[in-house]
Amino acid sequence: MPTYQYECESCGHVFDIMQSITEKKLQKCPKCNKNSLQRLIGTGSGIVFKGNGFYETDYKKKKATPETCPANKSKECSNACPMKETGKSA
């Protein structure tokens, strides 16, 4: 939902509001109650990611454990083993 910026021509009150693209423009100023609002042309904003754990839970690589290590049959991890990065051996 885009954020629009409005300015009242009567009292000069400026504010931002999130509105659907299909909603009509606001006309009444919340401060002076006159029908003199103008929607300002802005640059818009970038993508906003809201919520806990974006990237952390969705895309982060999981660290290998000795049980999941593909080289768990040998005593030392191979160069391709993800356990090698942690300094642990399987």
CA distance linking residue 85 with residue 14, whole number of Å: 54
CA distance linking residue 51 with residue 36, whole number of Å: 36
The total number of structural domains that make up the chain: 1
Per-residue pLDDT of the chain (90 residues; tens, 9 = 90+): 788 899 999 999 999 998 888 999 999 999 999 999 999 987 666 666 666 655 555 555 666 666 666 655 555 555 556 555 555 554
29: domain range? 3-40
Please state the pTM of the whole predicted model.
Answer: 0.48
Residue 19 in any domain: the answer is yes
Residue 26 in any domain: the answer is yes
CA distance linking residue 85 with residue 89, whole number of Å: 10
